[in-house]
Structure 1
Amino acid sequence: MTFFADSTLVEDLLIEARADGIAQFVVGAMITDEQEQVLLLKRRADDFLGGLWELPGGGVEHGEQLEDALCREVTEETGLTITGVTGYLGTFDYESDNGMKTRQFTFAVTVEQTKPIVLTEHDESAWTDRRTLPAVSDETRALLTR
């Protein structure tokens, strides 16, 4: 399945990340509903960065393509199915709970349906206006309020 219109963009992003010494990759998906609200998921209190709200997404497995990880993670965390990637929103770096230098690549995506949300790894989900975001990381806030 190929959703990225510009395959060189992804290749360039990965080359740059490796050159920057990034050891681990993560993908994030900005999903919006009919009212242009963004889907956010609340991390479990006992999890890394517990209690923060975040975009659906997660780790890219060894040998996995970014778009495959994006589709897999969104389905695993929400039960939703990605139908397309409509844009690249940017990246941010952080140190993961295992101490690895990590880069999140974030994309705007479309999904087959926006309901129902089936949570498997988070406490709550919410459709949120980008101007009134709940407790999200500064990096996520910057991506969503551009």
Structure 2
Amino acid sequence: MWCDVWDYGISPGRSIGEQALADLQQRATAEGVALRVGVVLEHDGAVLLLAREEYSAGPRPLNLPGTTVRPGEPLADAVARAVLEETGLRVVDIVRHLGNFDYLDNAGKPVRREHFAVEVAAAGPIRLSNYAGYRWIPLDTDPPVTSSIRHILSAYRAGEPTQPR
């Protein structure tokens, strides 16, 4: 399947397996939750985290690249689109599923954020669109992220998916 982002054709490999992606998407639909994706990109033992503008209450936690899955959009396309739109990097393979967490959006509607480890064609240059900055944070540190993202990064380090939360 192809999706066009900024006039680039994207069709990443799916080491994770096409059926695994379809099953995750079907489960979210059956459970009536909106679907988002989060992506872990590693380079030289560090993970890419994105920073929003700071605000008066102090620095915000860092984020993984991610996006909302559009109606009818396959998960593989959403993963590739998220990385390309937010970082300018091209996903070449979706390696594995890292788990998910559910939450309520600002309108009180249920959302599920599925997380994936990916390989990219190159680790740079980074071209941000929605963020003020980025940092490559070593995986062996305790990054300034939410507890849910910390759980996903722990699963990534352990080489296993997390259990749904």
TM-score range for the pair, normalised by the shorter chain length? 0.7 to 0.9
Deviation at 1:144, TM superposition (A): 0.5
Give 2:113's aligned amino acid: Q
1:99 maps to which residue? 108
Checking the alignment, whether the CA contact within 8 Å between 1:44 and 1:121 is kept in structure 2 is: no
Q: Which deviations, in whole Å up to 9, do the C-alpha atoms of 1:80-120 show, x marking residues without a partner?
A: 01111111111111112333211111111011110111111
In structure 1, C-alpha distance between the alignment counterparts of 2:123 and 2:136, rounded to whole Å: 10
In structure 2, C-alpha distance between the alignment counterparts of 1:116 and 1:85, rounded to whole Å: 20
1:70 maps to which residue? 79
1:74–1:83 distance in 2 versus 1, CA, 3 Å: same
Give unpaired runs (5+ residues) of structure 2.
1-10, 156-165
2:162 maps to which residue? none
In structure 2, C-alpha distance between the alignment counterparts of 1:32 and 1:2, rounded to whole Å: 17
Checking the alignment, whether the CA contact within 8 Å between 1:41 and 1:56 is kept in structure 2 is: yes
Counterpart check, 1:133 vs 2:142: yes
Question: Which of the residues 5, 28, 31 maps onto 2:38?
Answer: 28
**SS of 2:86's equivalent?**
helix
1:44–1:94 distance in 2 versus 1, CA, 3 Å: farther
2:29 maps to which residue? 18
1:110 maps to which residue? 119
In structure 1, C-alpha distance between the alignment counterparts of 2:22 and 2:42, rounded to whole Å: 26
Give unpaired runs (5+ residues) of structure 1.
none
Give 1:62's aligned amino acid: P
| Percent identity of paired positions between Structure 1 and Structure 2 | 34
Counterpart check, 1:8 vs 2:19: yes
Q: Which structure: larger Rg?
A: 2
Counterpart check, 1:57 vs 2:66: yes
TM-score (norm 2): 0.78
TM-score (norm 1): 0.87
**SS of 2:132's equivalent?**
strand
How many pairs were matched up?
141
In structure 2, C-alpha distance between the alignment counterparts of 1:2 and 1:113, rounded to whole Å: 14
